[in-house]
């Protein structure tokens, strides 16, 4: 496990010059949905804080003021049974507070949930799998995994991303706290949410619904690119896999193995749909749903035995010989 920790330290290198928002603080929102929640939370915290201060002070005062002073004082205090006026007061005031909170809440719910979709919105279909994420860009023939690219949405150039969330197996939940609250990802159902990140960078998130053995390592990265970078990225991802002439033996070995039954490499006969799309594997910064940085060395450890790195992962150790493993890695590293 030590090397895993070391590998994590290496993740800083994976950012490729982009700002990494690793601390997913919901009070430092960088997109409108998260900002709306943060602003609402200030009102809620203020009201709840005021209630706490008032009630806790009264309690503390009563405990000190009305403590039994003399240890052997067995006299009884005046027996008071209640007061209707007071009961009405402490019923009506909370009802009014609830009314205010409900109205404010209703406005924010409607503003966030029922936002109309602008024509230039980027569409992404998010598909939860045990225990990784698939991102599809409908109509663009782009499929990737675990690192979702979306464009920045500035005030001058608003370009929100609308997500459709689906699941291939069990319930998951998509949560990137600095961008928006979470939305569950439920099989046999399509949920929706939207994001409009104001700053470029890499945002961290997690699957937030318990989904089985490796729920903890179903990490999310949202890579927010500038408009140009995003278009460049899309154009690159649209390409079929590079047919690198330098490694024909490695390529032949890869397609002779069982990898192709679960993984897709666009433009080849590898059309498996169970595991992540590998067409542009090396363009991604991490492996194993964000657990480790993506380098030839870590890729080799991962393919050799995923169970060491991510116990319970649905990718089995394929019992490859050293030569097969070298060839598979040689081929995979051509998938830029």
Contacting other proteins within 173-192 (CB under 8 A): 173, 175, 177, 180-184, 186-189, 191-192
Of 5 and 245, which has the nearer Cβ to other proteins?
5
Minimum Å gap between C-beta 25 and other proteins is 5
CB of 132 to other proteins, least distance (A): 15
Burial of residue 203, with CB atoms counted within 10 A of its CB: 0-12 exposed, 13-18 middle, 19 or more buried? buried
- 179 vs 10, 272, 278, CA distance in Å? 25, 32, 27
Distance in Å, CB of 200 to other proteins, minimum: 20
| Closest by CA position to 182, among listed 153, 205, 210 | 205
Binding mask 269-308 for other proteins (x = CB under 8 A): ----------------------x-----------------
Give the x/- contact pattern for other proteins in 61-80, rule: CB under 8 A: -xx--xxx----x-xxxxxx
How many whole angstroms from its chain centre is CA 73?
Answer: 62
Spatial separation of the C-alpha atoms in residues 177 and 64, rounded to whole Å = 43
Q: With respect to other proteins, which residue has the nearer C-beta, 97 or 247?
A: 97
268 binds other proteins (CB under 8 A): no
Gap between the Cα atoms of 36 and 40, Å rounded: 6
For other proteins, give the closer residue by CB, 190 or 249.
190
Minimum distance of other proteins from residue 87's CB (angstroms) = 5
Residue 16 DSSP class: T
Q: Return d(Cα 13, Cα 323) in angstroms, integer.
A: 29
Residues 240-259, one symbol each (x = binds other proteins by CB under 8 A, - = not), give: --------------------
In the complex, the smallest distance separating the C-beta of residue 235 from other proteins, rounded to whole angstroms, is: 32
128 binds other proteins (CB under 8 A): no
For the segment 80-109, give every residue that binds other proteins (CB under 8 A): 80-83, 86-87, 90-91, 94-95, 98, 101-102, 105-106, 108-109
Sheet holding 132-137, edge to edge: 142-145, 132-137, 122-129, 161-167, 191-195
Q: Does 59 bind other proteins (CB under 8 A)?
A: yes
Give the DSSP letter string of 247-263: -HHHHHHHHHSTHHHH-
H or E stretch covering 144: strand 142-145
SS3 at position 335: coil
Question: Which CB atom, from 1 or from 245, has the smaller least distance to other proteins?
Answer: 1
Candidate list 204, 229, 247, 308; residue touching other proteins; CB under 8 A: 204
Cis amide bond preceding 131, omega within 30:
yes
Binding mask 209-238 for other proteins (x = CB under 8 A): xxxxxxxxx---------------------
Q: How many residues bind other proteins (CB under 8 A)?
A: 94
- Residue span 133-172 as binding mask against other proteins, x where in contact by CB under 8 A, dash where not: ----------------------------------x-xxx-
Q: Which residue has the tokens 């006026």?
A: 85
Mention every residue, 6+ apart, whose C-beta is less than 8 A from residue 189.
Answer: 166, 167
Among residues 13, 46, 55, 258, the one that binds other proteins under rule CB under 8 A: 55
C-beta of 24 vs 140, nearer to other proteins: 24
Question: What is the β-pairing status of strands 122-129 and 161-167?
Answer: parallel
């Amino acid at each position: 496990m030590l090397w895993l920790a070391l590998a994590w330290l290496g993740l800083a290198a994976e950012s490729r010059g982009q700002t990494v928002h690793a601390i997913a603080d919901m009070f430092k929102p960088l997109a409108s949905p998260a900002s709306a929640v943060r602003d609402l939370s200030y009102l809620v915290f203020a009201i709840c804080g005021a209630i706490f201060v008032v009630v806790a002070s009264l309690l503390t005062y009563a405990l000190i003021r009305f403590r039994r002073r003399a240890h052997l004082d067995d006299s009884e205090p005046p027996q008071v049974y209640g007061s209707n006026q007071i009961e009405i007061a402490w019923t009506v005031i909370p009802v009014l507070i609830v009314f205010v909170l409900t109205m404010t809440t209703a406005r924010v719910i409607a503003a966030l949930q029922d936002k109309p979709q602008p024509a230039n919105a980027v569409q992404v279909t998010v598909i939860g799998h045990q225990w990784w994420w698939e991102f599809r860009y409908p109509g663009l023939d782009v499929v990737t995994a675990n690192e979702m690219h979306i464009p920045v949405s500035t005030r001058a150039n608003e370009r929100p991303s609308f997500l459709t969330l689906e699941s291939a197996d069990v319930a998951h939940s998509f949560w990137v706290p600095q961008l928006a609250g979470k939305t569950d990802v439920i099989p046999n159902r399509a949920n929706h949410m939207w994001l409009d990140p104001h700053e470029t960078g890499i945002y961290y998130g997690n699957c937030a619904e318990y989904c089985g053995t490796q729920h903890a390592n179903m990490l999310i990265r949202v890579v927010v690119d500038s408009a140009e970078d995003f278009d460049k990225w899309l154009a690159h991802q649209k390409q079929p896999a590079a047919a690198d002439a330098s490694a024909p033996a490695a390529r032949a070995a890869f397609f002779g193995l069982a990898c192709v039954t679960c993984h897709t490499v666009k433009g080849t006969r590898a059309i498996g749909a169970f595991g992540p799309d590998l067409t542009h594997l090396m363009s991604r910064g991490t492996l194993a749903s964000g657990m480790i940085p993506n380098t030839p060395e870590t890729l080799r450890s991962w393919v050799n035995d995923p169970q060491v790195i991510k116990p319970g992962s649905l990718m089995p150790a394929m019992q490859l010989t050293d030569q097969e493993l070298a060839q598979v890695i040689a081929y995979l590293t051509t998938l830029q």
